[in-house]
Structure 1
Amino acid sequence: MGDRDMGQEHIIVVDDEADLRDMLSEYLARHGFAVSVASNGEEMRAILRDRPAHLVTLDLRMPGEDGFALAKHLRDQGPIGIIMVTASSEKVDQIVGLELGADDYIAKPFDPRELLARVRSVLRRVNASTRGETQPAGVMGQEIRMGRCMFNVATAKLFTVDGREVPLTAMEFDLLKVFVERPNRVLSRDQLLDCAHHRDMDAFDRSIDIRIMRIRRKIEEDPGRPRVLRTVRGLGYMFVTADRVRDLGLSA
């Protein structure tokens, strides 16, 4: 459970039908995934430049660059999960898609529960094939769950679980990076400033407390009762990971 406790799988739904994109985004998010949506290949690539993805659902028949071309592009990047979505039951589409490297396919119309089962199955296979690798592919990478957000150290970006980017200042990023690299440990103001390379600030300068307060407003469900960046009175602050939050009987 370790990787799933610290991170959350990111899925991109690529389809030119807005209603289907919205429905799948909402459904998959309800089942614990971080979801982004794209109406074409250009939007999909833009998302991948900002944050890694673990699986992509691809509509085969889209105007312009179709799902076959996008599947080939994704497979060239590494072991990302690919599920082809098609309105056609033609076997040739399914065969070509699989030959291009898709992991699975599903024909429209479909029950979202069937797609969810296929998503979970593909992710299990992808996770098993990349287990033990520190960086499985250029389009993949670890995102850390921090309250109601996902933090990506590699891209220096923070996202809500429904895919919206949350702006970060340079100091906020530095502090978040320090916390995720030292989870479940109490860090004093001195340690935070040392690790974040901000020794020009005084450890007793309350501006660091203000910055942490601002971070809490972005990541905590209830900033007035922080559960993720906790204050340890008289000592400092601690980033409590999702698994540790559960162990303590707190809500994430």
Structure 2
Amino acid sequence: MIPPPSDQEELPAGAPPTAGARPCIALVDDDRNILTTLSIALQAEGFATRVYADGEAALKALRHNPPDLAIFDIKMPRMDGLELLQKLREKSALPVIFLTSKDEEPDEALGLALGADDYIAKPFSQRLLVARIRAILRRSEFTRSDAAEPEEGDTPETITRGRLEMDPARHRVTWGGRTVSLTVSEFLILEALATRPGVVKSRNQLMDAAYSEDVFVDDRTIDSHIKRLRRKFRAIDSDFDAIETLYGAGYSFADG
């Protein structure tokens, strides 16, 4: 019989992970059975895990010692998953997956608009969750399973557009030499725009760039991401106007 986890405790499952050897997943849920089950399942798949039974405890830990990815339940006491994400996004671009119930579609849309990278509706298969985790880790360049240096020519080229520099291999963005912290979805949307400056990308095209095929978002979500992108760049440069809106058509990146 495996005892329920306590806050900020890594569940024992075999030998303890070597520091830095495995991607670390933080689980935040007030249901101890879910924490125990998911933690054991993820450790069996090669991940290290940390678990938190409420949002307030998780927020402090995620800011102080961020994992590679976090999974939040939406419905939690004290601080729910949406509030946790909103507060986390003030200072962190940590990849986040939401766990939702079938009747929580408005929460799913709001979570994506706030900067979540994906969501999975309960009940879900552990295989699906693991696949989503691996996909996001690959996209965010946090995967540690491939430690070898890439062959010459395989590394994605740095994108330079005026004062913007994007390094897809390191998930790094700078504007005028100053770092801009972006979520995975924000990075992919900006990359889609900056790759072809001056070309208008529709909201549907940006959705395809930022989300997997089985994640459905609406126009408002893309608009929210664009607003967040502009806000982050304007925090560095108040004159930032490189992301242009063509009303009724979509968005483009002005190179110059």
TM-score (norm 1): 0.48
Query: Which structure has the greater CA radius of gyration?
Result: 1
Q: Which has the higher helix share?
A: 1
